[in-house]
Amino acid sequence: MLDTAQAVLTENFYFPSGDTQLAARLYQPVGEPQTAVVLHSATGVPRDYYQPFARWLAAERGMACLTYDYRDFGHSLSVPLKQAQATMADWALIDMPAARTEMRRRFPNVRQWSIGHSVGGMLGPVQPDIDQIDRMICVCSGPVTVSDHPWPYRALALLFWYGHAPLAAKALGYLPGKALGFGADLPASVYWQWRSWCTAPRNYLPEVGVTLPEAGWAQTDTPVDLFAFEDDDLVPQKAVWRLADLYGANARRHLLSPSEFGLPEVGHIGAFARRSAAVWPRLID
């Protein structure tokens, strides 16, 4: 389909990831792209949320951009949510590399970029295909733990991990995110792993080389940029820099303030919202 107002081609399709198929939407410029971007979503954020940013990449920067939903979520949900078995590790170690494989198949002769939002970049250092990535961009990504959150947000986080949310997940067999005000329903298996990491003193880091693969990014010369926002209470600067340490000494750290873009707020989710379009050139240029 051609969006004539924006000069962007879009295509909806499924691609294979392990034992399942993931629902994707590809945005392309009318001309041949020189860069192929895979946009990896934050937890509980559907692919369609990133449509304005993906269309901007195609229309204004001439890049092809793939958005998709992880297994057992959004358009990729293929079983009743109570039966879903996906984990965050599955998303990071199977689905994200599979999305990049699809883009390399479609665009074998161009630069391959990964843009990860929150969990979309959080496990990048332990992924199996890092030697095939030409640039990694992490936005609001970090192995956060409860003690990282400022008050009063920390009280909300404690409630989410120890209050009504785990009770609801046990009772229903999935996390009723919509009913809880989280925004999206999630498999219980995703919630429990997410909870175990975010309530541990160093999140998933002690599992690297044990239940998770070794971190290999620091042994590469692939550029990685990590962006933190001053008003992000969910993944504050200290958690983003913790991830930067795992990416290695050459990881570039960027602390951004909403005011420098003329915005009242950005927070954790807002960087890819249409209202934050002033931020977008800073993330990729």
Q: What is the pLDDT of residues 184-209, one digit of tens each?
A: 999 999 999 999 999 999 999 999 99
**Mean of the pLDDT values across residues 251-262?**
98
Please compute the mean of the pLDDT values over residues 223-250 and round it to a whole number. 97
pLDDT attached to residue 191:
98
In the chain, what percentage of residues exceed pLDDT 90? 96
- Does the pLDDT at position 254 exceed 50? yes
Average pLDDT for 116-124:
98
pLDDT computed for residue 131 by the predictor: 94
* Tally of CB atoms within 10 A around 101: 16
Q: What is the pLDDT of residue 3?
A: 54
Cα angle 211-213-217, degrees, rounded to a multiple of 5 = 145
pLDDT the model gives residue 227: 98
Residue with tokens 């994200």: 96
Weakest mean pLDDT among 2-16, 38-52, 80-94:
2-16
pLDDT average, residue stretch 83-101: 98
Q: Is the pLDDT of residue 126 over 90?
A: yes
Question: For 135-157, what is the mean pLDDT?
Answer: 97
Q: What is the pLDDT of residue 2?
A: 45
HEC string for 118-173: CHHHHCHHHCCCHHHCCEEEEECCCCCCHHHCCCCHHHHHHHHHHCHHHHHHHHHC
Q: Is residue 51 packed enough to be buried (19+ CB in 10 Å), middle (13-18) or exposed (0-12)?
A: middle
Instruction: State what percent of residues in the chain have pLDDT above 70.
Output: 98
Looking at residue 182, its pLDDT comes to 85
The predicted structure's pLDDT at residue 4: 44
Which pLDDT score, from 0 to 100, does residue 6 have? 62
**Prior bond of 187 cis (ω within 30°):** no
Task: State the pLDDT at residue 7.
Answer: 86
162, 78, 65: which is closest to 113 by C-alpha? 65
Residue 93: per-residue pLDDT: 98
- Please give the pLDDT value at position 256: 98
Cα–Cα dist 204/8, whole Å: 39
- Give me the pLDDT at residue 115, please: 98
Strand-pair category, 224-229 with 174-175? unpaired
Q: Check residue 181 and give its pLDDT.
A: 87
| Crossing angle for the helix pair 153-162 and 188-198, to the nearest 10 degrees | 130
> What pLDDT is attached to residue 66?
98
Report the pLDDT value the prediction gives residue 51, as an integer from 0 to 100: 98
Location of structure tokens 């602390």: 255
For 127-130, the CB contacts below 8 A with 24+ separation are 127/92, 127/93, 127/96, 127/97, 127/213, 128/93, 128/97, 128/213, 129/97, 129/100, 129/101, 130/216, 130/217, 130/220, 130/222
Interhelix angle 164-172/153-162, nearest 10 degrees:
30
Token pair of 99 as six digits: 């999305």
Structure tokens at 238: 């200290």
Q: How far apart are CA 45 and CA 184, in angstroms?
A: 7
Average pLDDT over residues 95-112: 98
**Helix H or strand E segment including 38:** strand 35-40
Specify the CATH superfamily of domain 2-145+215-284.
Answer: Alpha/Beta hydrolase fold, catalytic domain (3.40.50.1820)
CA 72 to chain centre: 15
Between CA 255 and CA 230 the distance in angstroms is: 7
